[in-house]
Structure 1
Amino acid sequence: MPAWAGALAGLVSGGVALGIAQLVAGFVRPEAFPVLAVADATVDLSPAPVVDFAKETFGFYDKPVLVGGVLVVLALVAAAIGVLSLRRRLAYGLAGLGVFGVVGAFAVVTRPDSAGVTDVLPTAAGVAAGAWTLSWLVRRAAGDRAQMVGTAGGVQTTGAAGRGAPATGATHATDHGVPSAGGTVSSAGVVPSALDRRRLLTGVAGGVVVAGASAVLGWQVGERRTVSAARVGLALPKPTIPARPIPAGADLRISGLSPFITKNQDFYRIDTALIVPQVDPNKWKLRIHGMVDRPIEITYADLLKMPLTEADVTLTCVSNEVGGDLVGNARWLGVRMAEVLRRSGLQANADMLLSTSADGFTCGTPVDVVMDGRDALFAVAMNGEVLPVDHGFPVRQVVPGLYGYVSATKWVVDIKVTRFDRDQAYWTPRGWSAMGPVKTQSRIDLPRQGDSLKAGRTTIAGVAWAQHTGIDAVEVRVDRGDWREARLAQVPGPDTWRQWSLDWDATPGQHTIQVRATDASGHTQTEQQAPPAPDGATGWHTISVRVA
């Protein structure tokens, strides 16, 4: 039997297993899909340098790449299982499927958000479907010329030649299933004397249809079971403390310049969730415990009854490179974190809020930053609409002046009041700083790196940010000449980015443009280049353009 036939049978059987697992997960919980659980466990068990390399290399696509890698490994193993089943023993293949079923089930039930034994159902159903498919395809590959071998130590065969009589060309086997002359005896007793190509390929086609249809249907069922309906049906109260009106000059309205308010669909997304957590607001609770006088639990309805504050706040990811786009500005609506924490009675020596997401991610936020009067929120809305699921629905944290990895927990469900010398959040043991104050930064939005421009008056423009300190000045220089001060847009407060622009009389040739910002405390960006790890990138954003 050719190896390609076994590999094809194994691949299709594996596809059916995953398709059925996806279908059952759609009815149980999308997070119970074993591939996602294995990928999540892979992230948790990977050394910090490997995780950092993946983030830096693949950026937004690190999660799809990881899931794709898991699928490639599964495909290779499935192919090997098929070859073993068709050329050696079917029992070997079934045992291999069983092992991978155990691994998948273990990964699912040990996830932080596991719902218990019901989460094993997708894996169990997938393995059962894969085993049946593998057995079926092996029989089809053998075709009508297969012989059946007795089980009582003899070598009498029964097949197409007639009941109880040796078939023409029968192959005898030892008690161990090793053929004495041509053919291979499986533990199921099937002896394929030759490959029935037509029956195998038609079986493969049927398996592909089943795998694809069940996967698509499972995805659709899972989508329908998400919280979208609950989110759409919510009506949020009006803010008790509205945001300051955005000044007329906050947006310079220059084509190519980042708008003052970033649309929800354009806002960057960085988190550790392989699948976006689907949290029902009717079941959501925020638990606050640890170094408090009164541990409390707050429901979503409780939160909406509290005074709501509206604020314009720019968020930045610590992974943002100089000139990068992992930064955005939005209008948030939520309850002040300080208001909620005071209800629990913070103890005087607590200095850390260890928040936990519904998917198990943890984040350590300095207590003093949250309690100093800034608009640190448990946010429920973004840019006038209920918080998008991708950005933390039903509730997320928003803290001006801190990088997201130490402040902006999405799908937040738990706050442990503690100390930095007692607890560590997700990224700290992976080499990132325990505290992450935002560094003053500026970026050139136009022209773009490598642009070709026409000689004459042109506009250089961009954004700068220094959350909760504010931007006081932005300077630009061309070809390392004198620094020129840019025109600054208006801002409603110190917690948002600030647009800037400068007119430049461009002359023919190759030119280098640099920008630097000075914040309200008088600190000017350093020229020293530093990577994002461990506490944020530094350096002047520099681009090159050609003028004709």
Structure 2
Amino acid sequence: MTLKTKLFWSALAGVASAAAGLAIAEAIALVIAPASSPLIAVGSLVIDLAPTWAKDFAIAAFGTNDKIFLLTLIVVLLTALAAGAGALQLFTAPWGLVTFGVIGGIATIAATTREQSLASWAIPSVVGMLGAALMLYRIVTKLGVWTATAQTVAAKGDQRASGVSRRDFFVYIASTAVGAAVIGIGARTVNATTIAAAAVRKAIKLPAPALAAPAIPDGAALDVPGITPLITPNADFYRIDTALQVPSIDASDWSLRVTGMVEEPFEITFDELLALPLTERNITLMCVSNEIGGDLTGNATWLGYPLHKILERAKPQSGANMVLSRSIDGFTAGTPLDVLQETDRDCLLAVGMNGEPLPLEHGFPVRMVVPGLYGYVSATKWVVELELTTYERSRAYWTDRGWSAKGPVKTCSRIDVPTARQTLDSGTIVIAGIAWAQHTGIEAVEVRIDGGEWMPARLAAPISDDTWVQWALDWDASSGAHVIEARATDKDGTVQSGQFAPVAPNGAEGWDSVRLDVA
């Protein structure tokens, strides 16, 4: 047997053994806790430890698929390490087993240091690592026997012994691979789908709002093919958060604690929240990682209880200036207390989205919705605690990583049509898109062609100052290459900045532009 053949089969033995160990761990995580999965725990640890530039790159490059990219990267890395462990075990035993021990140790640390983790969360990683090590030892032992008998065959011609040892090896590695696939795929599917939470959500009937959203005015939606819809369907609403696996929460077990610098700390359950007079409002949300022209924004109809009333009940103490909201997965956001106390700003403890309970990935059972602030300082999903504190005393997840503390949304516009690099016929072309200046409102949108004079676009009727507004301009296009730019002005007279600024540390700036050819 050649060295190349030995390397191939030993590497394959390592990969099959690692797959078996991971499958065992995933199955045990179903019983212990979904978040104790070593794959999810390691991925979450990577998210926490990754530098800001790496997170920005992942979001910019992969958008809402950033978590799929991360998991794929981890699986590729694990596969490479497992292959190396198999080769080490065959040629320099026991270093292959030691490699698996190190991998299992990292996974154990990742699982037991997560927010709200228990000591039992170590069990999937530890047992999975032991299972992988056992499989590796057995399979590589069979490979060693096959290797030895192959040498004997070469020397003495004993074909029967070689056939038996080769068959033993293939039976072991094949059964390990098939077992890992069946158990692992089944466990991961059950784990990821969060069946229990989905069933609970489906059974919930939301009450009618005590204060319904104002009717959408006539003329709010422009009849322009390709323009962003006025209301974003739940399935299309952007998702950016730090949860590698969507938390599975039984609404009957959920409660919100209001703590910290308050005279009357209290706790409220989901049923108690639904029994309160709820408010319905159309509100646009925006991710701070949204590039100019990006799609990390959405507009929905939210149902919830006003946060200023929650805070009134708790009676904030003098000196408190920040509300540190905490998610069940450990994420925190720091929101200015005075913003949440504004009675004319519809800051909601939301339970509904577009006429149904919050989707699991958008915060079920309860999340925060705050118009006018980027989500990283306000839109906490799966929220379980509001701690009143100060900016001097506490730091939130993203502000602790170099982002600005307060994150007000900047006045901005986006061109939806025409799209970049199109070739269109000369004549009348409709340029259209959306603009937003949350909690201030849009006064005007202007468009210019090839750096010429700014031309006023027509605005659709706005739903409110807390939502985006559609706009359009009819352009008599001549043949040639052209550059279209757009800018917005809010009701305070602030004109959208044309000076480029990156998303970090407090949101992108610049004018959206489209390059196209006209025939």
Residues 1:377 and 1:486: Cα distance change in structure 2 (over 3 Å): same
CA contact (8 A) 1:145 1:194 kept: no
Shift of 1:509: 0.9
Superposed, 1:369-408 pairs within 5 Å as: 369-373=339-343, 374-408=345-379
SS at match of 2:303: strand
**In 1, distance between residues paired with 2:490 and 2:235?**
29
Shift of 1:130: 1.2
Shift of 1:198: 4.3
TM-superposition CA deviations, 1:166-224 (whole Å, max 9, x none): xx99xxxxxxxxxxxxxxxxxxxxxx999944443343222221111111110233235
Shift of 1:400: 0.5
- More off after superposition, 276-285 vs 389-398: 276-285
- More off after superposition, 24-33 vs 52-61: 52-61
CA contact (8 A) 2:373 2:408 kept: yes
Q: Partner amino acid for 2:123?
A: L
Aligned counterpart, 1:154: none
Count matched residues. 505
CA contact (8 A) 1:27 1:221 kept: no
**In 1, distance between residues paired with 2:188 and 2:238?**
24
Aligned counterpart, 2:116: 113
TM-superposition CA deviations, 1:146-168 (whole Å, max 9, x none): 69xxxxxxxxxxxx9xxxxxxx9
**In 1, distance between residues paired with 2:506 and 2:239?**
19
Shift of 1:520: 0.8
TM-superposition CA deviations, 1:26-79 (whole Å, max 9, x none): 233221111221221222223333333333343333322222232233222222
Indicate yes or no: 2:214 matched with 1:212.
Answer: no
TM-superposition CA deviations, 1:479-507 (whole Å, max 9, x none): 22222111111122110000011111111
**In 1, distance between residues paired with 2:428 and 2:337?**
49
**In 2, distance between residues paired with 1:220 and 1:527?**
47
Higher helix share: 2
Aligned counterpart, 1:545: 516
Superposed, 1:304-453 pairs within 5 Å as: 304-373=274-343, 374-453=345-424
CA contact (8 A) 1:441 1:465 kept: yes
Aligned counterpart, 1:183: none
Q: TM-score, normalised by structure 2?
A: 0.93
**In 1, distance between residues paired with 2:189 and 2:63?**
27
Indicate yes or no: 2:231 matched with 1:227.
Answer: no
Structure 2 stretches of 5 or more lacking a match?
A: none
Shift of 1:446: 0.3
Aligned counterpart, 1:45: 49
Q: TM-score, normalised by structure 1?
A: 0.88
Aligned match for 1:138, one of 124, 137, 140: 140
Aligned match for 1:67, one of 67, 71, 88: 71
**In 2, distance between residues paired with 1:253 and 1:198?**
69
CA contact (8 A) 2:351 2:357 kept: yes
TM-superposition CA deviations, 1:258-315 (whole Å, max 9, x none): 0110000111111111111111111111111111001111111111111100000000
CA contact (8 A) 1:370 1:376 kept: yes
Structure 1 stretches of 5 or more lacking a match?
A: 148-159, 161-167, 170-191
**In 1, distance between residues paired with 2:391 and 2:147?**
71
**In 1, distance between residues paired with 2:40 and 2:67?**
10
Aligned counterpart, 2:14: 10
Aligned counterpart, 1:34: 38
CA contact (8 A) 1:143 1:199 kept: no
SS at match of 2:253: coil
Q: Partner amino acid for 2:190?
A: V
SS at match of 1:227: helix
Residues 1:524 and 1:87: Cα distance change in structure 2 (over 3 Å): same
Residues 1:404 and 1:145: Cα distance change in structure 2 (over 3 Å): closer
Shift of 1:103: 2.2
Aligned match for 1:123, one of 122, 125, 128: 125
Superposed, 1:443-482 pairs within 5 Å as: 443-482=414-453
Indicate yes or no: 2:105 matched with 1:102.
Answer: yes
CA contact (8 A) 2:146 2:162 kept: no
CA contact (8 A) 1:142 1:196 kept: no
Q: Partner amino acid for 1:3?
A: L
Shift of 1:8: 1.4
Residues 1:304 and 1:244: Cα distance change in structure 2 (over 3 Å): same
CA contact (8 A) 2:358 2:366 kept: yes
**In 1, distance between residues paired with 2:186 and 2:27?**
6
Q: Partner amino acid for 1:120?
A: A
Aligned counterpart, 2:172: 203
**In 2, distance between residues paired with 1:142 and 1:522?**
78
Indicate yes or no: 2:53 matched with 1:58.
Answer: no
Indicate yes or no: 2:29 matched with 1:25.
Answer: yes
SS at match of 1:481: coil
CA contact (8 A) 2:463 2:469 kept: no
SS at match of 2:251: coil
Superposed, 1:513-532 pairs within 5 Å as: 513-532=484-503
Aligned counterpart, 1:174: none
**In 2, distance between residues paired with 1:324 and 1:385?**
27
Residues 1:259 and 1:53: Cα distance change in structure 2 (over 3 Å): closer
- Counting aligned pairs with the same residue, the percent is 48
Q: Partner amino acid for 1:45?
A: L
CA contact (8 A) 1:6 1:79 kept: yes
TM-superposition CA deviations, 1:13-35 (whole Å, max 9, x none): 01111112112222332211112
**In 2, distance between residues paired with 1:46 and 1:525?**
32
Q: Partner amino acid for 2:122?
A: V
CA contact (8 A) 2:247 2:329 kept: yes
TM-superposition CA deviations, 1:409-451 (whole Å, max 9, x none): 1111111101111111111122211011111000110000111
Aligned match for 2:468, one of 484, 497, 501: 497
Aligned counterpart, 1:187: none
Shift of 1:345: 0.6
SS at match of 1:16: helix
Shift of 1:82: 1.4
Residues 1:38 and 1:391: Cα distance change in structure 2 (over 3 Å): same
TM-superposition CA deviations, 1:354-396 (whole Å, max 9, x none): 1111111110101111111210000000000110001000001
Superposed, 1:153-164 pairs within 5 Å as: none
**In 1, distance between residues paired with 2:57 and 2:474?**
39
Q: Partner amino acid for 2:17?
A: S
- More off after superposition, 502-511 vs 74-83: 74-83
- More off after superposition, 98-107 vs 290-299: 98-107
